[in-house]
Amino acid sequence: MTNLDFTIVLPYINLFFRGALTAVEITLLAVLIGIFIGTFVGMGKMSRVLILKLICSTYVEIIRGTPLLVQLLIFYFGLPQILGFTIPEFPAAVLALGINSGGYVAEIVRGGILAVDRGQMEAARSLGMSHAQAMRYIILPQAFKKMIPPLGNEFVTLLKNSSLATTIGFQELTRAAQIVAGSTYRPFEPYITAAAFYLIMTLGFSWILGVLERRLAAGD
């Protein structure tokens, strides 16, 4: 039985830190894209315009019904065949994760809006606001507070899913572990180290989310 020796990781520790930072960067950008897309798609699913509702619902079903890994491979390997140019690893990973996130955020947005009392919309309309104005100034600010917990969970999920970027050769945290494992011929310690980094990051962001939730609850 081979003894464990985590000191072999120390010469490569900066590689792990850079990989962790890159994972966070990918996740933050993907979440922003997901929120942007998800907000419009979520409201589109509630639209009275049938074609818009159908398009948004189809998008959500496709995203939620296909594996993220396959979506990532389509973006990086498939689209260049159609577009005629290669998408670099970083934007391909961000776009794939962001568009994937949009399908899930859309349901979060829709759920948040539905959680707001319908009387709020009726009251806003009675004051002369248009539907769009009422949604922007009255409904969405209230719905956003209800969206914070599931949006936080989506962030944590995306952070873990960023490890899939290694399948297209992008150097993030999981790829760093692969490099160290290949250099030392000892895979256990590098992968455990990568897992520890992911765990620390997810626990840290979950704690921050909990603090934010409590402050928002105290402000109500």
Q: What is the pLDDT of residues 27-58, one digit of tens each?
A: 999 999 999 999 999 999 998 899 999 999 99
Domain assignment present for 162: yes
Point out the least confidently predicted range of 61-70, 173-182, 203-212.
Answer: 203-212
How many Cα atoms occupy the beta-carbon half-sphere of 3 within 13 Å?
3
Spatial distance between the Cα atoms of 202 and 11, rounded to a whole number of angstroms = 25
Q: If 0-12 CB within 10 Å is exposed, 13-18 middle and 19+ buried, where does residue 148 land?
A: middle
Of 171, 173, 168, the C-alpha closest to 201 is 173
Q: What is the CATH number of the domain that holds 173?
A: 1.10.3720.10
CB neighbour list of residue 125: distance below 8 Å, 6 or more residues apart: 131, 134
Render the burial of 185-215: b for 16+ CB within 10 Å, e for the rest. ebeebbeebbeebbeebeeebeeebeeeeee
Q: Does the structure show a pLDDT above 90 at 85?
A: no
Q: If 0-12 CB within 10 Å is exposed, 13-18 middle and 19+ buried, where does residue 79 land?
A: middle
**Alpha carbon separation from 140 to 68, 73, 90, 128 (Å, rounded):** 28, 34, 32, 18
189-207 mean pLDDT:
96
15, 173 contact by CB (below 8 A):
no
Domain assignment present for 157: yes
Number of domains in the chain: 1
To the nearest 10 degrees (0 to 180), the angle between helices 140-161 and 13-45 is: 140
Domain assignment present for 1: no
Domain assignment present for 177: yes
Domain assignment present for 75: yes
Domain assignment present for 47: yes
pLDDT of residue 11: 95
Spatial distance between the Cα atoms of 93 and 80, rounded to a whole number of angstroms = 14
Residue 220 pLDDT level (bands cut at 50, 70, 90)? low
